């Protein structure tokens, strides 16, 4: 008995569904013999041939089906799938679009269109297609996950948030839910949210290394470098042979944490494994720059650029190594990034600072200031988006609270030292006020280990402030009596290996606000406060990218407000600390280096040593913006760093001079 066309097509469909492809093919051949212009038969044979791996035959039959039935959406969506598999994405998009026009209520056309758009890296288009699936109430868990990821990549954050919410409702235990939340926070550079999400993930799934990696990144961006190192350490420990990428990341974190031995090890291992990697080359360039090996650092940057001429980190690192004295090719590379408005704001800001430094070194005052303004505006906007913008009211309240607490501590005679305490010298002052130079002078002394900018003091201050805000300044002696053992243990445990030297320096600028706290914890400590012409300090800060904790550094008005309150708070401390808090004037030191060096050593309660005359002959890492300058002989020209802008910003300079007092030494 001869089968009808419908019987042949039904039999073919059943055979294909059960995996009997040869039987299905026989029935479809018979169907086409019976009805050679039947669009459904061509469409079915085309999909069958696609399943059998015969792309040419599949295309023939699917194309014929579309020609025979221009309104046959199944043929168009099947042909779109074939074009996608063959890499003909433009054709696939057109064919999927036609299928959507013919059958907008069919979930299949939207799902297939989203996959094709995703393959074409049209994440906005993929997101839009998946949105239609949700509107049709046909989106499954996988669709919602893909919607969230595509919306994130398209920077459509409202849509991404909605997709994540729907996924949480539909599948609260979905294995990829935490990962997409991590990517959502990461894409928005929402570091507080990223840290919080990563910690929640670790609570739910201890040992989840992707959460550790996210937490490390968040803490790094928030300026908690030690926390970042602690968060990333389990990733390194989890493998006897960490990947080069993991070694590179951990090496960078260690470098910023001033754990230089580990930084050398991991960055060196990453470069040995990836000798042509621009990222590994650039990270090692920075390591060498902080060591003073500028020739090696420059060579590594140029190797990175030979591999990838527009590698942004290599371009900006090379600009730092050369202190802005870059060639035209480097400037053009930076300019191309600066003009790319699709670049992430943080990367554009780094590019702007590099171009501004180049203009500064070329004495192009107007261009340099314009670029510094633009780069700082980008960073200020990022800080606002992260809810980390400078709050002058909070700064005023906190510094008034600290001043009152200083008086209460002084009146109580609070002192928690021990006879075996190390001899600590805290070198403080606003950033760019000469603290690196002073530490280099003291660090040249054979009895002194230069500790650099140790992060513990500001952390203790923040904990102390937290208690003061709750209990008031008059409770400072009681608060400190309760917290002193923990504070002392925390600080001493974080001190670097002094290599047997009896004196260790800590030049963290934020320690200036912690002087009464640190003085009570370590009564034998000395404090050296550095000051410099206020305008030169302000402009030098404005020319550099400080960590996000320096929220006041992005706008000149905020900088002036913080600067004034900072110095006036230190002046209050001076009234209670007497000779323990010495004042070093950077401008006087530069004007008479010989006398200045002797004064620095004397104020640190050290005997003079002639090694302190050669402080620029450093054989150690210097992890500050002055890492290159401090290796040069002291020069008067370095004092007036803001001179190029003084006339243009004359009103601002006058206002700073009026508001920021110079303390008497």
Mean pLDDT for 185-193 is: 91
The pLDDT value recorded for residue 240 is 84
Tell me the chain's radius of gyration from C-alpha atoms: 33
pLDDT in tens, 201-221: 999 999 999 999 999 999 998
Q: How many domains does the chain have?
A: 2
d(CA 146, CA 153): 10
442 and 591: one domain? yes
pLDDT of residue 576: 85
What is the rounded CA–CA span in Å between residue 387 and residue 567?
26
Question: Among 321, 351, 385, which residue terminates a domain?
Answer: 385
| Helices 55-68 and 73-85, packing angle to 10 deg | 150
Residue 438 sits in the same domain as residue 526: yes
Predicted confidence band of residue 622 (pLDDT cuts 50, 70, 90): low
Position with higher pLDDT, 628 vs 65: 65
Q: How many CB atoms lie within 10 A of CB 546?
A: 18
Token pair recorded at residue 531: 């000051």
Given this model, what pLDDT does residue 610 score? Answer: 92
- CATH code at 542? 3.40.50.300
Position 369 pLDDT exceeds 50: yes
Mean pLDDT of 155-173: 96
Same domain, 453 and 333: no
> Which tokens in the block code for residue 384?
């606002």
Contact of 205 with 213, CB cutoff 8 Å: no
Question: Taking 90 as the threshold, does the pLDDT of residue 184 lie above it?
Answer: yes
Neighbours of 271 (CB within 10 A): 22
Mean pLDDT of the chain: 92
The Cα 271–Cα 283 span in angstroms is 9
The angle at the Cα of 460, spanning 553 to 630, to the nearest 5 degrees, equals 50
Residue 8 lies in a domain: no
Q: In the chain, what percentage of residues exceed pLDDT 70? A: 96
Same-domain pairing of 508 and 631: yes
Reply yes or no on whether the pLDDT at 179 is more than 90.
yes
- 178 in a domain, yes or no? no
Distance (Å, rounded) from C-alpha 618 to C-alpha 632? 10
Per-residue confidence (pLDDT) for residue 613, from 0 to 100: 86
What 3-state DSSP class applies to 512? Answer: helix
* pLDDT band for position 189 (cuts 50, 70, 90): confident
Same domain, 423 and 367: no
pLDDT higher than 50, residue 521: yes
Task: Indicate if 373 and 463 belong to the same structural domain.
Answer: no
DSSP state of 241: S
Tokens matching residue 239? 């493998």
Does residue 452 share a domain with residue 532?
Answer: yes
Residue 11 counted as domain residue: no
**Token pair belonging to 85:** 């598999």
Mean pLDDT of 494-508: 92
Task: Report CA torsion sign: 231, 234, 237, 242.
Answer: negative
| Mean per-residue pLDDT, 300-320 | 97
Using the 3D structure, point to which of 339, 354, 385 is the last residue of a domain: 385
Is residue 118 one of the residues assigned to a domain? no
- Cα dist from 155 to 119, 261, 278, whole Å: 17, 39, 27
**pLDDT score recorded for residue 634:** 56
Q: What is the DSSP letter of 495?
A: P
Q: What is the pLDDT of residue 246?
A: 95
Q: What is the pTM of this model?
A: 0.81
The distance in angstroms from the start CA to the end CA of the chain is 114
Tokens of 591: 């004007």
Same domain, yes or no: 372 and 397: no
637, part of any domain: yes
Query: Can you tell me the distance from the alpha carbon of 520 to that of 488, in angstroms, rounded to the nearest whole number?
Result: 10
**pLDDT, mean of residues 112-126:** 97
> pLDDT class for 532, splitting at 50, 70, 90?
very high
Q: In terms of domains, do 520 and 397 share one? A: yes
pLDDT at 631: 45
Token readout for 539 is: 């402009």
Q: What is the pLDDT of residue 88?
A: 95
Position 435 in a domain: yes
pLDDT at 471 over 90: yes
Which residue range(s) make up the domain with 368? 329-385
Domain boundary among 348, 367, 385: 385
- Regarding whether 359 and 400 lie in a shared domain, the answer is no
For 150-200, the three-class secondary structure string (H helix, E strand, C coil) is HHHHCCCHHHHHHHHHHHHHHCCCCCCHHHHHHHHHHHCCCHHHHHHHHHH
Residue 47 confidence (pLDDT) above 60? yes
CA–CA gap between residue 260 and residue 461 (Å, rounded): 26
State mean pLDDT over 301-307. 97
Q: Is residue 7 part of a domain?
A: no
**Among residues 454, 555, 596, which one has the least CA distance to residue 514?**
454
Which residues fall within 8 angstroms of residue 647, CB to CB, at 6 or more apart? none
Are residues 415 and 337 part of one domain? no
**Are 617 and 484 in a shared domain?**
yes
Contact 270, 251 (CB under 8 A): yes
Q: What are phi and psi of 161, to 5 degrees?
A: -60, -40
Q: How many CB atoms lie within 10 A of CB 331?
A: 17
In a domain, 518, yes or no: yes
Strand, coil or helix: 384: helix
CA 167 to chain centre: 28
Q: Examine the pLDDT at 1 and tell me if it is beyond 60.
A: no
């Amino acid at each position: 008995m001869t089968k009808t066309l419908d019987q042949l097509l039904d039999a073919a469909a059943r055979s294909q569904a059960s995996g009997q492809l040869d039987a299905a093919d026989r029935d479809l051949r018979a169907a086409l013999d019976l009805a050679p212009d039947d669009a459904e038969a061509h469409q079915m044979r085309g999909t069958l041939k696609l399943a059998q791996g015969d792309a040419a035959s599949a295309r023939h039959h699917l194309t014929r089906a579309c020609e025979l039935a221009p309104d046959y959406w199944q043929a168009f969506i099947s042909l779109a799938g074939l074009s996608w598999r063959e890499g003909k994405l433009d054709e696939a998009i057109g064919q999927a679009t036609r299928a959507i026009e013919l059958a907008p209520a069919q979930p299949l056309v939207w799902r297939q269109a989203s996959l094709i758009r995703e393959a074409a890296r049209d994440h906005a288009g993929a997101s839009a297609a998946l949105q239609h699936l949700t509107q049709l109430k046909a989106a499954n868990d996988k669709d919602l996950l893909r919607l969230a990821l595509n919306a994130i990549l398209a920077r459509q954050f409202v849509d991404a948030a909605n997709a994540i919410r729907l996924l949480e409702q539909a599948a609260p235990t979905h294995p990829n839910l935490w990962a997409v939340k991590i990517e959502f926070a990461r894409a928005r550079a929402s570091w507080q949210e990223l840290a919080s999400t990563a910690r929640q993930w670790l609570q739910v799934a201890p040992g989840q290394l992707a959460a550790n990696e996210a937490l490390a990144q968040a803490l790094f961006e928030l300026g908690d470098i030690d926390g970042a190192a602690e968060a990333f350490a389990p990733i390194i420990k989890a493998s006897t042979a960490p990947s080069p990428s993991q070694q590179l990341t951990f090496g960078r974190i260690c470098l910023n944490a001033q754990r230089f031995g580990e930084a050398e090890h991991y960055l060196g291992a990453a470069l040995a494994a990836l000798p042509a990697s621009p990222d590994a080359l650039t990270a090692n360039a920075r390591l060498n720059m902080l060591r003073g090996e500028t020739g090696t650092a420059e060579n590594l940057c140029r190797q990175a650029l030979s591999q990838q001429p527009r590698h942004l980190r290599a371009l900006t690192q090379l600009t730092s190594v050369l202190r802005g004295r870059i060639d035209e090719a480097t400037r053009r590379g930076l300019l191309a990034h600066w003009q790319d408005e699709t670049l992430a704001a943080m990367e554009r800001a780094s590019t702007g600072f590099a171009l501004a430094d180049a203009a500064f070194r070329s004495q192009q005052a107007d261009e340099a200031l314009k670029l510094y303004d633009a780069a700082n505006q980008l960073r200020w906007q990022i800080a606002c988006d992260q809810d980390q913008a400078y709050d002058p009211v909070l700064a005023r309240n906190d510094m008034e609270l600290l001043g009152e607490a200083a008086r209460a501590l002084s009146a109580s005679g609070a002192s928690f030292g021990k006879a075996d305490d190390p001899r600590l010298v805290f070198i403080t002052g606003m950033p760019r006020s000469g603290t690196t130079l002073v530490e280099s002078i003291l660090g040249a002394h054979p009895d002194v280990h230069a500790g650099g900018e140790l992060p513990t003091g500001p952390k203790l201050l923040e904990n102390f402030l937290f208690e003061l805000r709750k209990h008031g300044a008059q409770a400072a002696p009681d608060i400190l009596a309760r917290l002193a053992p923990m504070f002392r243990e925390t600080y001493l445990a974080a001190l670097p290996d002094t290599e047997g030297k009896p004196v260790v320096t800590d030049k963290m600028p934020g320690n200036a606000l912690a002087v009464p706290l640190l003085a009570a914890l370590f009564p034998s400590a000395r404090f050296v406060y550095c000051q410099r012409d206020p305008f030169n300090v302000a402009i030098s800060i404005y020319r550099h990218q400080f960590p996000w904790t320096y929220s006041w550094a992005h706008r000149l008005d905020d900088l002036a407000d913080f600067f004034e309150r900072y110095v006036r708070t230190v002046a209050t401390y001076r009234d209670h600390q007497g000779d323990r808090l010495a004042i070093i004037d950077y401008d006087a030191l530069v004007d008479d280096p010989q006398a200045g060096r002797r004064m620095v050593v004397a104020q640190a309660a050290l005997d003079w040593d002639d090694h302190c005359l050669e402080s620029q002959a450093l054989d150690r890492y210097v992890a500050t913006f002055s890492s290159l300058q401090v290796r040069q002989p002291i020069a008067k020209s370095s004092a007036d760093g803001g001179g190029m802008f003084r006339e243009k910003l004359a009103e601002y300079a006058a206002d700073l001079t009026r508001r920021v007092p110079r303390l008497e030494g």
